Amino acid sequence: MSRIVILGNAGGGKYCRDESGGGAHKDGGFVTVLLQNTTPGLRVRTEGGVWIDAPPVPGTFVINTGELLELATNGARRRA
């Protein structure tokens, strides 16, 4: 089973941190694949709990492991 979720800015591409995005969350599925463009906004949490910007690299993919993969590998692969 697959699920596609599209989060974005309804303002036509003008990025505003207060108006777009999905907020802090854990990916619940197996893996999440994000095709990057030039729009900033992705942030990741470090092992120490600090949120940092993940600058976009156009034409690349960000692969996040999810809770199901962590469960399937008995914690060997931690969720992002």
**Model confidence pLDDT, tens digit, residues 57-76:** 888 988 888 888 888 888 88
Given this model, what pLDDT does residue 7 score?
56
Q: How far is Cα 40 from Cα 63, in angstroms, rounded to an integer? A: 16
- What is the band of 35 on the pLDDT scale with cuts at 50, 70, 90? confident
- What is the band of 5 on the pLDDT scale with cuts at 50, 70, 90? low
The torsion defined by the Cα of 63, 66, 68 and 72, in degrees rounded to 10, comes to: 60
DSSP 49: S
Given this model, what pLDDT does residue 12 score?
46
